[in-house]
Amino acid sequence: MSAPSPRILPFLAVGLIATAFGLVFFYAPLEADQGFIQKIFYLHVPLAITALVGFMLAAVHAIIHLRTGDPIHDARAYVSIHMSVIFGVAVLLTGAIWARASWGKWWVWDEPTLVSFLIVFLLYATYYPLRYAIVERDRQARYASVFAITAGAFVPLNFIAVRLAEPLIHPRTLGAANGGLPAEMMFTFLVSLAGMGLLWVTLVRFELAAKASRGHLKRLRRNLLDPDQDAIATRGLGGRIEPLIEAERA
């Protein structure tokens, strides 16, 4: 997660999503079987793929965190999971709307993709109670990483198990079962996917930046109130803090 500067990232994401919606409504053909409601596919599936990829990225960051002990990777794993859980809520909502429109029910229990996504979502929802039940900072980060790795391995296994156990009625989006998607649909889908992915990256970067500046602010405030207390912690800030303290004293 480096490349483009955070300043243009949101514009890129918004632009791409706007393009995707334009394509969805004016370019992609109407699906013969389901009609207009099928267009939710371009929102639902990219959201789901982005959320799952986000969970996997969290596992990668967690592995790097355990190997290096660098807290930035713990923060990245945390924010990735956080953002993917939020995307997961959107996936469940859009999925329910689509299911209601095309199958007549809000939720279908004998449908492997729905059930496995719900289980994955519920598992990641327990990340928060685990994380905040551990007081000590280092241990909290380590345990959260272990959770992220375990859950990351769990995601594909869960999909295999649930899929083997149930019949298939959920559309196999990218499978060859229906001979795949027509080219226009595929193109629109890929643009939507890129847009959602970029939105995820943008939001993750914003949250990381917010977390970093909140930490920074806390440190500054602590120093202002009690400058002697942790001189060591502020050494990295250079001279910037001194004028503030001088002003406070005067």
Partner 1 sequence: MNPELRRRTPTLRAARVILAKDLRIELRTLQSLSAMLLFSLTTFVLFRYGLDRTSLEGSLASGVLLMTILFAAVLGIGRLFVAEREQGGFDAFALAPIDGSALFYAKVTAQLIYLAILEAFALPVFAVLFLSDWSGLGALTAVLALLNLGLALIGTIVSVMATNSRARDLLTPLLLLPLLVPLMISAASAAAPLLDADGPSFAEFPKWLALLGLYDLIFGLIGWAVFDYLIED
Where do contacts with partner 1 occur on this chain (CB under 8 A)? 66, 119, 122-123, 126, 129-130, 133-135, 139, 142-143, 145-147, 149-151, 153-154, 157-158, 160-162, 164-165
Smallest Cα–Cα separation from 244: which of 226, 224, 230?
224
DSSP 182: -
Question: What is the nearest approach in angstroms of partner 1 to the Cβ of residue 120?
Answer: 8
Q: Which is nearer to partner 1, 131 or 222 (CB)?
A: 131
Q: Which is nearer to partner 1, 40 or 134 (CB)?
A: 134
Q: Which is nearer to partner 1, 123 or 220 (CB)?
A: 123
Question: What is the nearest approach in angstroms of partner 1 to the Cβ of residue 212?
Answer: 24
The CA–CA distances, whole Å, from 134 to 2, 47, 137 equal: 31, 31, 8
Question: What is the nearest approach in angstroms of partner 1 to the Cβ of residue 202?
Answer: 29
Q: Which is nearer to partner 1, 142 or 205 (CB)?
A: 142
Burial of 36 (0-12, 13-18, 19+ CB in 10 A): exposed
CB of 62 closer than 8 Å to CB of 150: no
Sequence-separated (6 or more) residues with CB below 8 Å from residue 235: none
Question: What is the nearest approach in angstroms of partner 1 to the Cβ of residue 86?
Answer: 18
